[in-house]
Chains A and B, each alone.
Chain A
Amino acid sequence: QVQLVQSGAEVRKPGASVKVSCKASGYTFTNSYINWVRQAAGQGLEWMGWENPDNDYTGYTQKFQDRVTMTRNISISTAYMELSSLRSEDTAVYYCASGRFPNRWGQGTLVTVSS
């Protein structure tokens, strides 16, 4: 079955960067987009962007355009989302989700930004 397993929780200081991984299994990795969605505590879902693992095409929400990079390593079926210049407002759970329209979701990775 399709499964997305994300890396563990991270704590960073303001101004630092964080890189979250998302390992896919149960389907052909290059056949499906990987979306990244975040959720601050008690808040709704916010789509950050996506990557097409087949051709490295990426699309980012304008809000994150200057700070986010989405990449992939096809050989290990893993997608990555790196967010830089972190601030306290970036404290959230970050999800990866496969599909042109998110259908299968990872378990989420809590990123805490605190001095």
Chain B
Amino acid sequence: DIVMAQTPLSLSVTPGQPASISCKSSQSLLHSDGKTYLYWYLQRPGQSPQLLIYEVSNRFSGVPDRFSGSGSGTDFTLKITRVEAEDVGVYYCMQGMQLPRTFGQGTKVEIK
């Protein structure tokens, strides 16, 4: 199975300041079709996960443009340009390169 490792595991951010989360995979997520199958999810407290970013850098429907994804191969980053109160929760990366799908451990983001 592909192992996904996130850092940091927790993050405390002042509103309006940027935040960055790293995700590393144990194998390349670049498929022979040219796509890279890396996804980012946010799970707000008491809610179901929601998709933020698909295929490294594409924002899902309705996701604010303060969220952006980047990276290639095995190293990926989720950035929030200006953190807002509603961004609190746990962020997960997930690989879609092969079965079984696997998630990172999660990064808990809280507001200072």
Contacts and interface: CB of A to CB of B under 8 A. Distances in A.
Contacts of B41: 45, 102
A65 to B, nearest CB: 10
Nearest to B54: A101
In the complex, which range does the number of interface residues on chain B fall in? 20 to 34
Contact of A47 (B60, B103, B104, B106): B103
Interface residues of A, number: 21
B105 interface: yes
Contacts of B100: 47, 49, 61-62
B51 interface: yes
Given A44-B92, A95-B49, A106-B48, A101 B37 contact: yes
B10 interface: no
Interface of B: 37, 39, 41, 43, 48-51, 54, 60, 92, 94, 96, 99-106
Interface of A: 35, 37, 44-47, 49, 59, 61-62, 95, 97, 100-108
